[in-house]
Amino acid sequence: INQLEGVDEILENTQARATQILGFSQTAFYLVNEADSDFSLARSFPETLGAQMEKEIEALVEDGTFSRAVRDKVPVTAYTEDGSRQLLLHVLATASRVRGMFVGVLMKKARHVREASFELFAILMAHCANALESYELYARLRESNQALEVQVEALSRSEDRLKASEEKYRLLVENQNDVLIRVNKDGRLEFASPSYCDLMGSAESE
């Protein structure tokens, strides 16, 4: 997961396995936007039916089915607006948060699906949610590492500039004839230029 460039591979693999388990003619994944906690369509299979799925979801949001699926964290079924097909919703949730929502159009009625298949499907949804969360954590870790690298590089450049500045200052002081000393507020001599040492006949360490 830490080598992925995006979540598409996670969603594609989940879609393929979900279709194997229950059989869907159309599926879609809604992911939670971290900024405002809104659900937005991330992928639709097939892509060309994304707008149609969005329309169906709008109706499910209005009648409360969508929020019930988020709350109950179990497979929830509903009919399309025209009543011709049956939809299956399952929240993508980890122990810490809701990551998104899976929506699929069943190829056969839910009552004809074995209970064991629903249990496998629920396990798949949990794995998908955990994979999405792991990807998000790895992405944040990469961003933190990149920011840290930038800071370390900037600090290194600052240190190099400081060393160069100190060297220029040292050469300036050591090679001029003027007497330079630095005295602290207590009258203690903190620095003496070589010309001062020569004048006083003392070593710099003294």
Residue with the larger pLDDT of the pair 176 and 1: 1
How distant is the alpha carbon of residue 137 from its chain centre?
Answer: 5
Instruction: For the sheet with 98-106, list strands across it.
Output: 39-45, 24-32, 98-106, 86-93, 76-79
Alpha-carbon gap, residue 81 to 52, rounded angstroms: 11
The mean of the pLDDT values for the chain is 89
Report the pLDDT value the prediction gives residue 116, as an integer from 0 to 100.
92
Report the pLDDT value the prediction gives residue 145, as an integer from 0 to 100.
84
pLDDT score of 61 more than 90: yes
pLDDT score of 85 more than 90: yes
Alpha-carbon gap, residue 133 to 81, rounded angstroms: 32
CA angle 42-44-47, nearest 5°? 120
11-20 mean pLDDT: 96
Distances (CA, A) of 175 to 112, 119, 191, 200, 202: 95, 84, 15, 17, 17
| In the chain, beta strands by DSSP E | 24-32, 39-45, 76-79, 86-93, 98-106, 181-183, 189-192
Decide: helix, strand or coil at residue 175.
Answer: coil
**How does pLDDT run across 135-179, given as a tens digit for each residue?**
988 888 888 888 888 898 888 888 888 888 888 777 776 677 778
Dig out the tokens for 206 from the structure.
């003294």
Beta carbons of 7 and 42 less than 8 angstroms apart: yes
121: confidence class by pLDDT, cuts 50, 70, 90:
very high
Q: How far apart are the first and last CA of the chain?
A: 64
Residue with the larger pLDDT of the pair 192 and 66: 66
**How does pLDDT run across 39-59, given as a tens digit for each residue?**
999 999 999 888 999 999 999
